[in-house]
A and B are shown apart, each in its own frame.
Chain A
Amino acid sequence: MKPGPFRYLAPTTLEEAVRALGEHPDAKVLAGGQSLIPVLSMRLARPTHLVDLAGIAGLGEVEVSDEWVRVGALVTHARLLADEDGYAALPLLRQALRNVAHPAIRNRGTTVGSIAHADAAGEMPSILAITDGVVEAFGPQGRREIPASEFFAGALETTLAHDEVIEAVRFGRFPGGTTTAFLESARRKGDYAMAGVAVALTVDESGQITSARASFVSVTDVPGVLDLTGALAGRIPTDVDWSVIDDAVQDHIEPEADIHVSAEYRAHLAGELARRAFAQAAATHPGGNS
């Protein structure tokens, strides 16, 4: 289990990185390596060149604005998990990141890398989706922004061009009156989830639901958003019997079986976790009972 030979390139600017990708059609970007190096070791990919982002300045920042939490390409899961400003602005980041891999993996793996990798079993792609996040891509023509809804194209597939690098992603902040929850079930803490869900529940001043959304982990091909507002608008969160969302959840997901778990069990977990996550988000509302 060793990677095949490759040329190692260590650019110091984004322009240089993009040029190297343009010159070598079989080159790959290397960030934390926590997904890419296993792929190379198992020889599932044989890139001719690795373009390491580590030497590029300015990619290691977490910035908070009124609308966004912006996460640079070199910010590790561990760094984002510990970021107090990011947590205060968007608690869902920490709620989800706690479930991403083991600490030793989080110390090297980047949040942007997991979004670039676009594994439907990854937690952070679903967080980008539910926050209506944006991918900031840097390519030969300069910068462009790709909304999450147009970024994920399939299992491990995105609409990023070969000669583009993600400079940062922006997770959108929720309006006031929103509470969130993230729940998942894995065989062992830190392993990929058998199923997981992120939810966001918004109420107005009178405590009535104005928005209810969910995004799933490990039970869809592409992380998307299930908008349940239609069925729930105007209700008081703590009065809702959350089994009303069951059918919508089951229609939204497309669970598959693997060696760990059957499709039926994944579907069962997704339904149960979604009910519990909404109940949790409802209970943490200022008007809720906890």
Chain B
Amino acid sequence: MTELSDLSPLRAGAAALADNLLTDELHEVTVNVNGAAHTRTVPARRLLSDFLRHDLRLTGTHVGCEHGVCGACTVLVDGAPARACLMFAVQAQSHEVTTVEGLGSSADSMNHVQQAFAECHGLQCGFCTPGFITTITSFLEENPDPTEEEAREVVSGNLCRCTGYQNIVKSVLRAAELKREAGEPA
């Protein structure tokens, strides 16, 4: 018969394993979001999308597929679109993150892309919209006068179950127009 005490190394081993595998180590993470530094204590595995939504209560960033395919969670990292579901909050610390809230979060502060979506019916249920707004806003910075084909290509990484995309393509072209008008000297 095995004495109970014989099991103690096993137990210690199991405890070490459990410690290694099952517990989360917490990190104090500071991320610059929409121009303000936010500090929270989170596990290393906290996705940036969950950090934004759960820890910062910025629920404008939507989560669809959680593996990079749908584009709903797209935010700007140092101005360039990136999937928030494919980044850990700990990785975002040295970067500037912009969410859809940072582009405009009330009827009178909408940016040119948000305005264009409203005008052209670029959304129906709105679930996919934040990912489109961030992606297109960044694209128009580099490409102020896109062709229809370019407009189609820029949204090819974002899925929409409602609109059929036609009005989203129109919205891209309209947003470019609005941006150019705003940039022209009065």
B67 near A38: Cβ-Cβ < 8 Å:
yes
B71 near A107: Cβ-Cβ < 8 Å:
no
B27 near A34: Cβ-Cβ < 8 Å:
no
Cβ contacts under 8 Å, B105 to chain A = none
Q: Assuming A5-B22, A104-B74, is B67 touching A52 (CB within 8 A)?
A: no
Interface string of A1-34 (1 = CB under 8 A from B): 1111111101000000000000000000010011
Does A144 sit within 8 A of B, measured CB to CB? no
For B65, the closest partner residue in chain A by CB is A1
Min CB–CB distance A55 → chain B (angstroms): 9
Cβ contacts under 8 Å, A56 to chain B = none
**B-contacting 9-mer, from A41-49, A149-157, A165-173, A256-264:** A41-49
Min CB–CB distance B23 → chain A (angstroms): 6
Cβ contacts under 8 Å, B153 to chain A = 189
Interface string of B148-186 (1 = CB under 8 A from A): 000001101100000000000000000000000000000
Q: Assuming A5-B45, A33-B91, is B22 touching A103 (CB within 8 A)?
A: no
Within 8 A of B (CB), among A213-238: none
Cα(A92)–Cα(B86), bound, Å: 28
Q: Assuming A3-B45, A33-B91, A50-B44, is B81 touching A107 (CB within 8 A)?
A: yes
Q: Assuming A7-B25, A102-B71, is B80 touching A107 (CB within 8 A)?
A: yes
Cα(A4)–Cα(B45), bound, Å: 7
Min CB–CB distance A34 → chain B (angstroms): 6
B68 near A105: Cβ-Cβ < 8 Å:
yes
Cβ contacts under 8 Å, B83 to chain A = 34, 104-105, 108
Does B20 sit within 8 A of A, measured CB to CB? yes
Number of A residues with CB within 8 Å of any CB on chain B: 33
For B74, the closest partner residue in chain A by CB is A104
B68 near A34: Cβ-Cβ < 8 Å:
yes
Cβ contacts under 8 Å, B27 to chain A = 8
- The total of Cβ contacts below 8 Å across the A-B interface reads 95
For B86, the closest partner residue in chain A by CB is A37
Cα(A189)–Cα(B151), bound, Å: 13
Does A78 sit within 8 A of B, measured CB to CB? yes
Cα(A1)–Cα(B68), bound, Å: 12
B67 near A104: Cβ-Cβ < 8 Å:
no
A8 near B21: Cβ-Cβ < 8 Å:
no
A8's partner among B44, B47, B71, B80 (CB-CB below 8 A) is: B44
B21 near A103: Cβ-Cβ < 8 Å:
no
Does B100 sit within 8 A of A, measured CB to CB? no
B82 near A52: Cβ-Cβ < 8 Å:
no
Does B146 sit within 8 A of A, measured CB to CB? no
Q: Which of B77, B81, B83, B153 has the most CB of A within 10 A?
A: B83
Q: Assuming A3-B45, A48-B21, is B156 touching A189 (CB within 8 A)?
A: yes
Q: A37-B67, A188-B156 are in contact. List 9 more A-B contacts (CB 8 A).
A: A2-B50, A3-B47, A7-B25, A8-B25, A30-B91, A33-B91, A41-B85, A48-B21, A103-B135
Which residues from chain B sit less than 8 Å from chain A, CB to CB? 20-25, 27, 43-45, 47, 50, 66-68, 71, 74, 77, 80-83, 85-88, 90-91, 135, 139, 153-154, 156-157
Question: Can you list 23 A-B contacts with CB-CB less than 8 angstroms, sorted by A residue number?
Answer: A2-B45, A2-B47, A3-B45, A5-B22, A5-B23, A5-B44, A8-B88, A33-B91, A34-B68, A37-B47, A37-B85, A38-B67, A41-B85, A48-B20, A48-B21, A102-B71, A102-B156, A102-B157, A104-B81, A105-B68, A107-B80, A108-B83, A190-B156
Closest 7 CB pairs of A and B: A102-B157, A8-B44, A38-B67, A104-B81, A1-B66, A3-B45, A107-B80
